Amino acid sequence: MRRSKAVDWSLYLVTDPNLSQSRPLPQTVEAAVKGGAGIVQYRDKQAGTRKMVETAAALCDICHRLGAFFLVNDRVDVALAVGADGVHVGQEDMPAVIARRLLGKDKMVGVTVHNAVEIAQAERDGADYLSLAPVFATSTKPDHQTPLGPHGIKMLAAEAHLPVVAIGGINQSNAAELIRSGVQGVCVVSAVLSADDPFSAAQTLCHVIQAAKAERR
């Protein structure tokens, strides 16, 4: 089983059922992965279990065929049903320590964190990576906590002992600043899902990210 050391964290796509421009989600995800997204998280808080399993199975097949990692948001049962690489949980979801126990040691568990206390807890609970949130205000998750901003992300990234990605209002104009702050990658939603051309949007973001990583060396 591939684990976090093998992941290219640079561009991490999180899905949203309301942002795909009326395109089938599998079509958008395939274009994004071909454009450079190395990891995809299927997130849908609205769909029933049967629909989630059907969609997750299709997305998992696309990701694995193209060499990307595939995670399911919160739903350990759906992740196991489709052979996903793991799950991602938030602070209000299933505790990471329970997700780890259910999934076993060979699957990936990611955790959204907002402060140093949550970082330490997630690391104790067996997380493989951390998502620092939110960087900026975003309409895709209106109930988010106070934005951390690039400085806050930099401070939290320095606290972590695991790979870290940033999420929340990230796009082509601000991705480089966040990479320079010390995160391994950025999570995007609307910047790719809502783009007229998801392939080009992902490709451009990857170029921006790689250029910023080169500046850090």
What pLDDT shows up at residue 2?
43
Residue 132 has phi, psi (to 5 degrees) of -85, 125
At residue 128's C-alpha, the angle toward residues 124 and 129, to 5°, is 100
In whole angstroms, give the CA distance from residue 146 to residue 136.
Answer: 8
Kindly report the pTM of this predicted structure. 0.96
- pLDDT one-digit tens code per residue, 179-199: 999 999 999 999 999 999 999
Quick one: how far is CA 139 from the chain centroid? Answer: 17
What pLDDT shows up at residue 141?
67
Q: Domain 4-216, what architecture?
A: Alpha-Beta Barrel (3.20)
How far, CA to CA in Å, does 118 sit from each of 95, 112, 125, 127?
12, 8, 10, 11
Is residue 4 predicted with pLDDT exceeding 70?
Answer: no
- pLDDT one-digit tens code per residue, 68-87: 999 999 999 999 999 999 99
Q: Residue 206's closest CA among 85, 107, 113, 68?
A: 68
The DSSP bridge pattern shows strands 108-113 and 129-132 to be parallel
What pLDDT shows up at residue 41?
98
**Per-residue confidence at 145, pLDDT binned at 50, 70, 90?**
confident
The percentage of residues in the chain with a pLDDT greater than 70, rounded to a whole number, is 95
In whole angstroms, give the CA distance from residue 45 to residue 146.
Answer: 22
- pLDDT one-digit tens code per residue, 11-30: 999 999 989 878 999 999 99
Is residue 170 predicted with pLDDT exceeding 90?
Answer: yes
Q: Residue 90's closest CA among 118, 70, 68, 117?
A: 118
Query: Across all residues in the chain, what is the average pLDDT?
Result: 95
List the alpha helices (DSSP H) in the chain.
25-34, 49-66, 76-82, 96-103, 116-124, 149-159, 175-180, 190-193, 198-216
Spans of all domains in the chain: 4-216
What pLDDT shows up at residue 138?
79
Cβ atoms within 10 A of the Cβ of 147, count?
16
In whole angstroms, give the CA distance from residue 3 to residue 107.
Answer: 7
> Which tops the pLDDT comparison, 144 or 94?
94
What pLDDT shows up at residue 143?
61
How far, CA to CA in Å, does 144 sit from each of 3, 51, 79, 83, 148?
28, 26, 25, 30, 11
CB 154 within 8 A of CB 182: yes
**Per-residue confidence at 1, pLDDT binned at 50, 70, 90?**
very low
